[in-house]
Amino acid sequence: AQSVTQPDIHITVSEGASLELRCNYSYGATPYLFWYVQSPGQGLQLLLKYFSGDTLVQGIKGFEAEFKRSQSSFNLRKPSVHWSDAAEYFCAVDLMTTDSWGKLQFGAGTQVVVTP
């Protein structure tokens, strides 16, 4: 079945340490890929997206993600985490079929806690 998987429900990281959030997808073709962040009580904000081309994508707030076709993965990274990065992070895909344009399918999310 088609799915988006975020294997880590919860990650705790120290401020200043690096962060990597995993995302795997299961679809016949490469979908469009997105990472969103949701801060407490807020809506979702797009961090970055991948459609084609360079497999390393730069986003806002110092985040980057790498698309690996062979692993069906689109992992999100940040070299040095700030306390303000504590939030829930969602990986999403758009299947880009004619009857589903704009239909984002989200993973279950990864809750990131930042400790001093």
Partner 1 sequence: DSGVTQTPKHLITATGQRVTLRCSPRSGDLSVYWYQQSLDQGLQFLIHYYNGEERAKGNILERFSAQQFPDLHSELNLSSLELGDSALYFCASSPSGGGTDTQYFGPGTRLTVL
Residues engaged in binding partner 1 (CB under 8 A): 32, 36, 41-46, 49, 51, 90, 94, 96, 99-109
DSSP code, position 111: E
Asked if residues 104 and 90 have their Cβ atoms less than 8 Å apart, the reply is no
Would you say 43 or 116 has its CB closer to partner 1? Answer: 43
DSSP code, position 108: -
Would you say 13 or 96 has its CB closer to partner 1? Answer: 96
The minimum distance between CB 45 and partner 1, in angstroms, equals 7
Would you say 49 or 77 has its CB closer to partner 1? Answer: 49
Nearest to 85 by CA among 35, 32, 49: 35
